Amino acid sequence: MLPVLGIVLIVLGGGHWAREVAIGVLILNGVVAVKITAAIWQAKVALTYVSGGWAPPLGIQLRADGLSAAMLLTTALVGLAVGIYAPKAFFVRQGENETRKSFTFWILFMGVCAAMNTIFLGNDFFNLYVALELVTFAAVPLVCLSGSKPTLEAAMRYLLFALSGSALYLLGVALLYGAYGTLDIGKLSGVVRPEPALWAAVAFMSVGLAAKTALFPLHLWLPLAHAGAPPAASALLSALVVKGSFFLIVRLWFDVVPEILNPRAGQVLGLMGAGAIVVGGVVALRQERLKLLIAYSTVAQIGYLFLIFPLVEQSTALSGGMFQAMSHACAKAAMFLAAGLMVEVAGSDRLVDLRGVGRVLPLTACAFILAASSLVGVPPTGGFATKWLLLWASISAQQWWWAVVIFTGGLLAGGYMFRALAPIFSQGSHSAPTISRPREVIVLALALVALLLGAFPQKPLELLAIGHARSTEVEP
């Protein structure tokens, strides 16, 4: 409810106070996320809260396990970093008139945070549908804040894919309710049975959510949308928004139907993930614009998330996938924000125009290197820990072909990241920047988190395991 309160206060107070309200809300949101995580860590089981005292199926239950806590912390961290970074582009000084961008950005930003929190705590598939729609209608306008024709076209394509995905998801939800009379995840896991209604529901929901996640070949909306949005919005879209729909696929496959679905169904999602890794990496290698290169790398990195589904029986696979969601969020947010600072200095995101920008923005360039290292999988970054867990799962499952895909993806990532880094550190003639040091520090801090996740992975992995294997629930 904190980001919703932020929206109300911004509407009442106007754009002149939007920055202060948003950052205050984001700080409180982080405190609550830490408290929830601490409670889960201490109890070692998932926590539940029944809204209004009405238990499911009549009422709504919120549930937080280790996966939820990890993503809540990630959302709070990335959100606060973006909130501190963004004001230069979306700030109105006293005496100046509000603009559409300055007023709208903060409201949409709070809407994204509220929707992501709801997705990570929701335990009812219909209420999760409502949260998905809130994500869509907060995220799509972020793409076209500039109002230019290319960004409007990118936003429209995003909207069409998102609404199509929502329709398929809602059709699956209707089938589940018609067959079993409940949409509560906990209750569904105990009553579902192998039958055509379940298979159809899972298929519709999975395809719809895959479209929202931009899984290959349903990724056509993502590159132009992420590359055309302002840097702060690009960071939100790539680091957080695409993770929400992926999180729901995890809930569906791992919490509701893990023993019922045919293993071949998981292989299909795995093949789509492998296609994303290879195709996204190859296309990223051919890009001449930095933000488009980063956007196509998002397509590739999303592919790693879906390698967990053919390895559903391996416990390390789920940990690897969720670890990828966390480390990728921090690294990709740092990368888009760093790209924004470099574009401010160079005046363009074309690689040829970025020559020498790393020499005048050393902290930003360092952050970009650390984030790139995580995406490539260089030890001891979070990206390396992710790939190690997925490699171990594929070897343990005797499905060696996924290991080949992971190695290939690492080589491609190294290639396109070298293409980005080479001009940044070459000779150039850029003048001394006017970039504020706190913005550079924020970007570097995000990249360091992506590094530390891999250097000290044990505690995050222990957190991810809490309350997931249908552990006994406790009331807070």
Residue 194: which pLDDT band, with cuts at 50, 70 and 90?
confident
- Residue-level pLDDT at 266: 83
Mean pLDDT of 185-192: 85
393 has a pLDDT exceeding 60: yes
474 has a pLDDT exceeding 90: no
- Residue-level pLDDT at 433: 63
In angstroms, the Cα distances linking 398 to 237, 311, 312, 393 are 35, 10, 13, 9
Identify which has the larger pLDDT, 437 or 288: 288
- Residue-level pLDDT at 424: 85
- What pTM value is reported for the model? 0.91
Measure the CA–CA gap between 295 and 228, rounded to whole angstroms: 10
Mean pLDDT of the chain: 87
- Residue-level pLDDT at 346: 82
- Of all residues in the chain, the percent with pLDDT exceeding 70 is 93
- Residue-level pLDDT at 475: 38
Residue 368: which pLDDT band, with cuts at 50, 70 and 90?
very high
Residue 476: which pLDDT band, with cuts at 50, 70 and 90?
very low
- Residue-level pLDDT at 295: 92
Q: Find, among 30, 72, 7, the residue nearest to 240 by Cα.
A: 72
pLDDT in tens, 138-168: 999 999 888 889 889 999 999 999 999 999 9
In angstroms, the Cα distances linking 369 to 165, 204, 421, 435 are 35, 40, 8, 19
Residue 98: which pLDDT band, with cuts at 50, 70 and 90?
low
Mean pLDDT of 16-32: 89
Residue entry with tokens 């509000």: 98
- Of all residues in the chain, the percent with pLDDT exceeding 90 is 47
Specify the range with the lowest mean pLDDT, choosing from 63-72, 74-83, 389-398.
Answer: 389-398
Measure the CA–CA gap between 264 and 318, rounded to whole angstroms: 18
- Residue-level pLDDT at 211: 93
Residue 464: which pLDDT band, with cuts at 50, 70 and 90?
confident
Residue 412: which pLDDT band, with cuts at 50, 70 and 90?
very high
Residue 473: which pLDDT band, with cuts at 50, 70 and 90?
very low
Mean pLDDT of 222-247: 90
453 has a pLDDT exceeding 90: no
135 has a pLDDT exceeding 70: yes
Mean pLDDT of 226-246: 90
The domain ranges of the chain are 264-471
pLDDT in tens, 265-323: 888 899 999 999 999 999 999 988 999 999 999 999 999 999 988 887 777 888 888 88
Residue 255: which pLDDT band, with cuts at 50, 70 and 90?
confident
Residue 92: which pLDDT band, with cuts at 50, 70 and 90?
low
Q: Angle, to 10 degrees, between the axis of helix 196-213 and the axis of helix 125-143?
A: 20
In angstroms, the Cα distances linking 318 to 88, 269, 383, 428, 455 are 39, 14, 15, 45, 19
Residue 254: which pLDDT band, with cuts at 50, 70 and 90?
confident
Residue 26: which pLDDT band, with cuts at 50, 70 and 90?
very high
472 has a pLDDT exceeding 80: no
Structure tokens at 437: 């040091």
Mean pLDDT of 414-423: 89
- Residue-level pLDDT at 96: 61
